[in-house]
Chain A
């Protein structure tokens, strides 16, 4: 090898990527060439120095702070918003299960199911609306039992608003908290073009958990 070869292959040499034969030739040249040897030695020292560059510790409570922020922002972001296309395996499997065993076509669900809600601890109850097509100007109302409240709306027993549904699965996440022991009925009413779909769910103040619930299938007129 000559000086040009050393310049060409120095990084391969430093990374141990040269063949045994080329390594010998490389070292033979650097053994006889002060200029090349100095570049190689200094390069080795440079790489060694790079490895010693330290990373300062993160600030105190970094870990708890980042996770708290995720909890805070995602709790707020999900409040009363629909997330269309929530087609994860979990959602899909629940939809199939409810469709086959719980879905009652054409109106009111007469046998409310019981869902456990924690005392004084906000938990998310998700209502899933599986829509056949896009719908605009859908009226949605939620009637809460006396022993439950929605996080951020402490005095409200009824909430109603206009919204839209997209084709596919739409999720309404309700941040609920039990404020008194007991159980009561949550009624969700969905109105579109004179049609009404109603879900009645019994909320009971016991364990915590996150739930997903399919109300009904909405078909176009």
Chain B
């Protein structure tokens, strides 16, 4: 009898084990979820949905060496699944970037004022959500959260080269939106230089 008790007790309360395992990562999960969704309620829902799916995988999670990285990856996939389920396009084309700029800046403000303004945070935040989903996620992970490219490679399962080129395009688009660089400015500058 003692042997049965010994063997079985290590499964004592799977919920307690699950919570002990997840709790240290919960803040980061919410943080990332907010970055992905841009809304507190949506971020909380995303984390809730993820935890409900993860509970049956308790034993699998207990064997994972880098749980934090693994959780970030499954959260991102959950987010992408959620976007698809909602039948929202994962791609948001920029239609009113001028409106974003004008919302935050007075008529006589120049590009330099944009990046130095107290309104920078609001403007940049709005500008981010005018990017394509794939671009926005990269800017948020790399430039906002400070993840390295290899970490992003692990998290999103996207080749490093693709990440670099997408990040570069994303930054260029962001520069255009906040008027650091006008659309097609690169071409004009290059033509001017060559001409």
Which residues of A come within 8 Å of B, CB atoms?
A: 2-4, 7, 11, 35, 38-39, 42-43, 45-47, 49-56, 58-59, 62-63, 65-67, 69-71, 73-74, 83, 88-90, 93-94, 97, 113-116, 123-124, 208-212
The reply to whether B116 and A94 contact each other, CB–CB distance below 8 Å, is no
In the complex, A93→B115 CA distance in Å? 61
The reply to whether A7 and B56 contact each other, CB–CB distance below 8 Å, is no
Interface size class of B (residues with CB under 8 A): 35 or more
Please name the 9 residue pairs, one residue from A and one from B, whose CB atoms are nearest each other, closest first: A45-B115, A42-B180, A49-B120, A88-B59, A209-B12, A50-B143, A55-B34, A211-B8, A11-B168
Which residues of B come within 8 Å of A, CB atoms?
A: 1, 4-5, 7-9, 11-15, 18-19, 22-23, 26, 30-31, 34-35, 40, 43-44, 47-48, 51-52, 55-56, 59-60, 111-112, 114-116, 120-121, 124-125, 128, 139, 143-144, 146, 167-168, 171, 174-175, 178, 180-181, 186, 189-190, 193
Partner of B181, one of A39, A74, A114: A39
Distance of B72 from chain A, by nearest CB (Å): 15
Interface of A is mostly: helix
Distance of A128 from chain B, by nearest CB (Å): 12
In the complex, A52→B121 CA distance in Å? 7
Q: Which residues does chain B contribute within 8 Å of A209, judged by CB atoms?
A: 8-9, 11-13
In the complex, A2→B194 CA distance in Å? 10
In the complex, A56→B111 CA distance in Å? 28
Q: Which residues does chain B contribute within 8 Å of A97, judged by CB atoms?
A: 7
